Amino acid sequence: MRTFLFLLASARPDGNTEALARHAADGLPAGTPQRWLNLTEFPLPAFENIRHTPGVRYAEPSGNERVLLDATMAASDLVVASATGPVRCATTPMRWPKAPAFFASSVAEGAPQTA
């Protein structure tokens, strides 16, 4: 069964970005599990890339990092609702070559990916 995680990444609550995401969610089949998280309610520390530092490992996620990681891993579909300026319509899924820093702690090996 598909489960949707909607991440609201707009600074303005109840704004156009959220309204558009909720309108899109209305098109899902009845009973489709949805979870909505507003990223302004889950502040994260600045991401520090330590992948190439010898002998140093990332700490186990905790607090807001753990909440976002668990929600992401539990979802089959991730919808990021973010105002980005000019919007381009596409018929294929959006693909970020590199996730923004606020997602860096939520990316885990083995997560489903689209082509």
Dihedral sign from CA coordinates of 44, 46, 49, 55: negative
Dihedral, CA of residue 19, residue 23, residue 28 and residue 33, to nearest 10: 20
| Structural domain spans, the chain | 4-104
Give the global pTM: 0.69
Count CB neighbours of 64 within 10 A. 16
Q: In the structure encoding, which two tokens stand for residue 25, read together?
A: 């969610």
In this prediction, residue 32 carries a pLDDT of 97
Please report, in tens digits, the pLDDT of each residue of the chain (115 residues total). 899 999 998 888 888 999 999 999 999 999 999 999 999 999 999 989 999 999 999 999 999 999 999 999 999 999 999 876 544 444 444 555 555 554 444 444 334 444 3
**18/54 Cα distance (integer angstroms):** 42
DSSP 50-64: -TTSTT--PPPP-HH
**31/9 Cα distance (integer angstroms):** 24
